[in-house]
Chains A and B, each alone.
Chain A
Amino acid sequence: MTKTALIIEDDDDLSTIFAEAVRAAGYEPEIIRDGEVARARLANTQPDVVVLDLHLPHVAGTSLLSQIRADPRLAGIRVVVATADPRMAEITRPQADIVLIKPISFSLLRDLTVRLSTSGGKQTGSG
Chain B
Amino acid sequence: MKLIKGLFDISSTDPDDARRLKLLNVLLSGVAVIVMLGILAIAISSLFASEVSSRSGVLYVSSFGTLASIVIIFLIGRYWSGQLASFLFLLLLTAVAPLTDQPQQVVNGRSLFVFTIPILMASVLLRPYASFIVASISGLIVTVIALSIHLAPNSPAILGFFAIALVSWLSARSLEQALVDVRTINRELDQRVIDRTRELYDALTREHAEASKNQAILESIADGVIVFDSQGQAIVANPAVGRLLDQTSDEIIRYRIERLMDGKVTAAVREQIVGLLQNEEAHHSNMRFEWGEKTLSASFAPVYADKNTPIGTVAVFRDFTREAEVERMKSDFVSMVSHELRTPLNAILGYAEILLEAVYGSLADRQRGVVARIMTNTKRLLSLVNDLLDQAQIEVGRLAFTITSFTPNELVEGAHSLMLGVAQAKDLRLTYEVAEDVPPTLSGDPQRLHQILVNLVNNAIKFTEHGTIHVRIYRPDADHWALAVSDTGAGIAPEAQLHIFEPFWQAEETATRSHAGVGLGLSIVKKLVDLMRGEIALTSELGHGSTFTITLPLTLMQEEMK
Contact residues of A between 93 and 120, Cβ < 8 Å to B: 101-107, 110
Contacts of B343 in A (CB 8 A): 11, 13-14, 84, 102
Contacts of A106 in B (CB 8 A): 349-350, 353-354, 357
Known: A13-B351, A87-B400. A107 touches B346 (CB 8 A): no
Contact residues of B between 402 and 452, Cβ < 8 Å to A: 402, 404, 446-447
Contacts of A102 in B (CB 8 A): 342-343, 346
Q: How many cross-chain pairs have Cβ atoms below 8 Å apart between A and B? A: 58
Q: Render B328-368 as a binary contact track against A, CB cut-off 8 A, 1 for contact.
A: 00000000000100111111011101100101000000000
A113 to chain B, nearest CB (A): 14
Contact residues of A between 1 and 44, Cβ < 8 Å to B: 11, 13-14, 17, 20-21, 23-24
Known: A20-B354, A20-B359, A107-B353. A14 touches B347 (CB 8 A): yes
Cα–Cα distance between A49 and B485 once the two chains are bound (Å): 39
B224 to chain A, nearest CB (A): 37
> What are 7 A-B contacts defined by CB distance under 8 Å?
A11-B347, A13-B343, A13-B344, A17-B346, A17-B350, A90-B402, A90-B404
Contacts of A126 in B (CB 8 A): 446-447
Contacts of B350 in A (CB 8 A): 13-14, 17, 20-21, 104-106
Of all chain A residues, the one with the shortest Cβ separation from B400 is A87
8 Å CB contact of A84 from B342, B353, B447 = B342
Contacts of B400 in A (CB 8 A): 86-87
Asked if B382 lies at the interface with its beta carbon under 8 angstroms from chain A, I say: yes
Cα–Cα distance between A90 and B339 once the two chains are bound (Å): 19
Contacts of A105 in B (CB 8 A): 349-350, 353
* Chain B residues bordering chain A, tally (CB within 8 A): 20
Of all chain A residues, the one with the shortest Cβ separation from B339 is A84
Contacts of B344 in A (CB 8 A): 13
Contact residues of B between 254 and 291, Cβ < 8 Å to A: none
Judged by DSSP, the binding face of A is helix
8 Å CB contact of B349 from A23, A84, A90, A103 = A103
Cα–Cα distance between A84 and B340 once the two chains are bound (Å): 11
Cα–Cα distance between A26 and B382 once the two chains are bound (Å): 29
8 Å CB contact of B346 from A90, A104, A110 = A104
Contacts of A110 in B (CB 8 A): 357
Known: A86-B402, A90-B404. A107 touches B357 (CB 8 A): yes
* Chain A residues bordering chain B, tally (CB within 8 A): 21
Cα–Cα distance between A126 and B406 once the two chains are bound (Å): 12
Q: A24-B359, A101-B447 are in contact. List 11 more A-B contacts (CB 8 A).
A: A11-B347, A20-B350, A20-B359, A21-B350, A24-B357, A84-B343, A90-B404, A105-B349, A105-B353, A106-B357, A126-B446
Output the residue of B351, B382, B446 with the most chain A CB within 10 A. Answer: B351
Of all chain B residues, the one with the shortest Cβ separation from A102 is B346
Cα–Cα distance between A90 and B446 once the two chains are bound (Å): 11
Contact: A17 with B351, CB < 8 Å?
yes
Of all chain A residues, the one with the shortest Cβ separation from B343 is A11
Contacts of A20 in B (CB 8 A): 350, 354, 359
Contacts of A87 in B (CB 8 A): 400, 402
Cα–Cα distance between A104 and B346 once the two chains are bound (Å): 7
Of all chain B residues, the one with the shortest Cβ separation from A11 is B343
Contact: A17 with B354, CB < 8 Å?
yes
A99 to chain B, nearest CB (A): 11
Contacts of B345 in A (CB 8 A): 103
Contacts of B359 in A (CB 8 A): 20, 23-24
A9 to chain B, nearest CB (A): 11
A44 to chain B, nearest CB (A): 30
Cα–Cα distance between A24 and B343 once the two chains are bound (Å): 22
Cα–Cα distance between A84 and B382 once the two chains are bound (Å): 13
Contacts of A86 in B (CB 8 A): 400, 402, 447
Contacts of A24 in B (CB 8 A): 357, 359
Contact: A14 with B404, CB < 8 Å?
no
Nearest 4 interchain pairs by C-beta: A17-B350, A13-B347, A106-B353, A103-B346
Cα–Cα distance between A90 and B405 once the two chains are bound (Å): 12
Q: Render B353-395 as a binary contact track against A, CB cut-off 8 A, 1 for contact.
A: 1100101000000000000000000000010000000000000
Of all chain B residues, the one with the shortest Cβ separation from A108 is B353
Cα–Cα distance between A40 and B345 once the two chains are bound (Å): 31
A91 to chain B, nearest CB (A): 9
Cα–Cα distance between A13 and B353 once the two chains are bound (Å): 13
Cα–Cα distance between A106 and B371 once the two chains are bound (Å): 14
Of all chain A residues, the one with the shortest Cβ separation from B378 is A103
Of all chain A residues, the one with the shortest Cβ separation from B345 is A103
A125 to chain B, nearest CB (A): 9
Of all chain A residues, the one with the shortest Cβ separation from B414 is A126
Contact residues of B between 25 and 43, Cβ < 8 Å to A: none
Cα–Cα distance between A102 and B341 once the two chains are bound (Å): 12
Contacts of A90 in B (CB 8 A): 402, 404
Contacts of B342 in A (CB 8 A): 84, 102-103
Contacts of B404 in A (CB 8 A): 90
Contacts of A84 in B (CB 8 A): 339, 342-343
Contacts of A14 in B (CB 8 A): 343, 346-347, 350
A118 to chain B, nearest CB (A): 19
A94 to chain B, nearest CB (A): 11
Cα–Cα distance between A36 and B137 once the two chains are bound (Å): 148
Cα–Cα distance between A125 and B402 once the two chains are bound (Å): 16
Cα–Cα distance between A101 and B342 once the two chains are bound (Å): 12
Contacts of A101 in B (CB 8 A): 447
